[in-house]
Every structure is written in C-alpha cells, then in structure tokens.
Amino acid sequence: MSDEKIFNEEHNETLETKCHDCGAILNFAPGTNNLKCQYCGAENEIVPEDTEPIEELDFDAYIKETVKEEDTMQVATVKCTACGASSTLKPNISSDECPFCGTPIIVQGGTMTSIIKPKSLLPFKITQKEAYEGFRRWIKKLWFAPTALKKYALQADKLKGMYIPFWTYDSDTYTKYSGARGTYYYVTETYTEGGQTKTRQVRKIRWTPVSGSVSHFFDDILIVASHSLPIKKVNKLEPWDFENLTNFDERFLSGFQTETYQVDLKEGFEQAKKVMESTIRNLVRRDIGGDEQRIYSMNTQYSNITFKHLLLPIWISAYRFKKKVYRFLVNGRTGEVQGERPYSFWKIFFFILGILAVIAIALYFFGVFE
C-alpha cells in the first residue's frame, strides 16, 4: 500500500489556493469554513465538493485486493531521523523542526509517498492563540516544572497544528468461551477464644464448569495510526465530536501539516482487537454469572469488518529536557490539554529542604518554651 520515490523540487507541490486580491497563499481559518489570507484578510468559503455520506469501507476487500488508484493519494513527506515520524512539508522552506521531537530536519531528504486517502476529517476549530493560552495555563499548574519549560511556554510558535491519522473499525464478534462460575455458600465453623467455644459463618466458593457464547457489535473503535505520540495522552484528548466529521477536502489542510500513518490497516485492527477484548471479557463474565467468574479460554470470530481512515486535529509542541523529549498536545476541537512533563530536581530538593527547615525551627521553639 506504500510506494516511495525520491523527492525533488518538481515534486514539492503543496496544495496552494492563492488570494485573488494579493496573490498570497490562503490558509484554513480554524473555527470557520473559510480559507483566509493572512495578509489582506480576504476569505474564500470552502464549498464541499463531496456531499455523500461518509462511508465505511470493507476491511477484507482492502486486505485481499490491490487498493484502487482513486482511493490513494500522493503526498510529499519528510521523515525524522530521530523519532521516525513522517509528516507533510511546509511550502517554500528548506529546513524545519520535527513537530514530534524538535529534531532539525532537512526538506531535501523528503519522499513522495502513496497512502490510503483519508475519507473524512475534523477541521481545526481551536485557533493557535486559543491553544497557546490553554497550553500556558496547563504549564502554570505544574509543580516543580523546570524554569526552562516556563520560558519555552512563552514561545507561541512552538505550538504546531498537525492533522494526525486515525483508523476506526466496526465489527460483529462471536465469542465461544469456557470457564467456571463461583457461587458463595457459608459453613458454620467452631473455634476457641479466651477459653470459650464460639461459632462463626465462613464463606466458601463452589466452582461449576461452564461454557457458552456471546455476541457483540463494535462501532467506531478508534485507533491512532501513529507511533510518534504518547498513546495514553492521545486517548485522554477524547471525546471527539465525530458527529461533525466532514468528507475529506485538502483545503482544510492548508496552513497545517499532516502526519502520514505509521500503523497500517492490518496492524490497526490488531490493536482494535485488544480494545474489544476487554469489553468481550466483561460480556463473558456477565454471561457466566454467579458471584465470581473464571475464564479459561475465549475464541473470538470477527465478521463484517469495516473501517474509516480519518484525520483529527491536534496542536503539538515537543520540548527537550536533559536529552529526553516531552510532548504536549491540545485537542484542536475542544482545547483539552494533555502532556508529558519533566521535573526539576533542584526545585524538589529546595522544597524538601524548606520543609525540613520549617520542622527544625518548629521543634527548636517548642523545645525552648517547654
């Protein structure tokens, strides 16, 4: 599904819609449905070319057959040598920083890559200014953050708008299981305490072998198709307002960068299975019943599998501290902030030292006035 060739100037084509008034490149304005000129303020409304409902695609057909040309797109990307992320290029630049780890990257090392075309996306709603303010508020709440991080948070241009690739999967599941049902029962036990004979009720468990099956339909299991971001932090950016998904239109990408997927379609479904497994286990436990349950085996069949490839908007900033990369994420729709954070050893050290000094002074005065 991927086809790469060496990138050169004639391939350095980024979608560019030029302003009719001044000739400058128009960028998508978050929170609107317009392309806007950053110089003269002229706006062009994005009129959808595709008004068809966003469709789910057949998973097995994509795996077994060659992907149709109309379902793929060519993108100019550059790969970071440090973290491995591949992202689209900004126009008219020869070097940049990787938005995922801050490593300098050279445009000349780019390639043209063929990928499965996204069918839908959520356009940016939160502006860079709004995301930056949320990012600063989040930084201010961090205890023992290095001073360098506080200074870093003053640089609004460090926050970059990225469209991140995701897969969603739908699937019918049928699971056969074997296990045991535990039922509580009580017996009277005699014991001696203080020279007296007493009785008490002791709980026991009677285990009964069971087997059966459960069925469940999973809808829109969301899997991030990237290895470049901390998955737990990305998941905490939810919920996403999927009811506002729009058909893919490259004009929404104007002024932003896009990461190409590192997790392919098959690998994404394997991850989706792990997400489904926890729900299936709960269904099996409920089906076993009783007071406690043991699951010995589960055999799940997946059918009618469909998927969507979509892009979701995230403002990203990568900060290096003592050779380690910390990433900060802002949901481009809701403004939710999540991130990894470093700690300042010296701030913690002096804080503890201060507490010990206060305790020592308090003990001294208590000793003097006793």
Mean predicted confidence (pLDDT) in 181-190: 94
Is residue 39 scored above 90 in pLDDT? no
Residue 317 CA to residue 157 CA, distance in Å, equals 9
Whole-number average pLDDT of the chain: 81
- Helices marked H in 16-125: 59-64
Domain extent at residue 167: 4-180+209-339
Check residues 32 and 210 and name the one with the higher pLDDT: 210
Asked whether residue 200 is domain-assigned, the answer is no
Of the segments 75-84, 93-102, 187-196, which one has the largest average pLDDT value?
187-196
Decide if 272 contacts 169 (C-beta within 8 A): yes
Residue 229 confidence (pLDDT): 86
Residue 346's pLDDT is 57
| 67 vs 266 pLDDT, higher one | 266
Cα(293)–Cα(265) distance, integer angstroms: 35
Buried b (16+ CB within 10 A) or exposed e, 156-189: eebbbbbbbbbbbbbbebebebbbbbbeeeeeee
Q: 329, 134 in Cβ contact below 8 A?
A: no
pLDDT at 272 over 90: yes
Residue 71 has pLDDT above 60, yes or no: yes
How far out from the chain centre does Cα 99 lie?
A: 15
- Hey, which of 191-195, 250-254, 300-304 has the most confident mean pLDDT? 300-304
Q: Which residue would you say has higher pLDDT here, 213 or 150?
A: 213
Quick check: bond before 239 cis, omega within 30?
yes
Highest mean pLDDT among 27-41, 245-259, 285-299: 285-299
**Average pLDDT for residues 240-256, to the nearest whole number?**
89
User: Residue 74 carries which side chain, given as an amino acid letter?
Assistant: Q
* Total domains, the chain: 1
Residue 354 lies in a domain: no
Q: What is the dihedral of CA 20, 22, 23, 24, to 10 degrees?
A: -120
Q: What's residue 109's pLDDT?
A: 53
pLDDT of amino acid 69:
64
Any domain includes 360? no
| Cross-strand partners of 329 | 316, 338
Res. 363: pLDDT tops 60: yes
Domain membership of residue 62 (yes or no) is: yes
Kindly state the DSSP code that residue 259 receives in the 8-state scheme: B
Question: How much of the chain, in percent, has pLDDT values that exceed 90?
Answer: 36
- Is 352 a domain residue? no
Output the CA angle 298-304-309, nearest 5 degrees.
Answer: 105
212-239 pLDDT per residue, tens: 999 999 999 999 998 888 888 899 999 9
Please tell me the distance from the alpha carbon of residue 102 to that of residue 90, in angstroms, as a whole number. Answer: 15
- pLDDT value, residue 9: 38
Q: Please report whether residue 256 resides in a domain.
A: yes
Average pLDDT over residues 105-127: 78
Between 69 and 249, the higher pLDDT residue: 249
Q: Does residue 350 lie in a domain region? A: no
Inform me whether the pLDDT recorded for 14 exceeds 50: no
pLDDT reported for residue 67: 65
CA 343: distance to chain centroid? Answer: 23
Backbone angles phi and psi of 202, in degrees to 5: -115, 130
Rounded to 5°, the CA angle 330-164-13 comes to: 120
In a domain, 359, yes or no: no
**Most confident segment among 10-24, 26-40, 284-298:** 284-298
CA distance 320 to 98: 12
Instruction: Please tell me the predicted confidence (pLDDT) of residue 364.
Output: 65
Q: 315 pLDDT exceeds 80?
A: yes
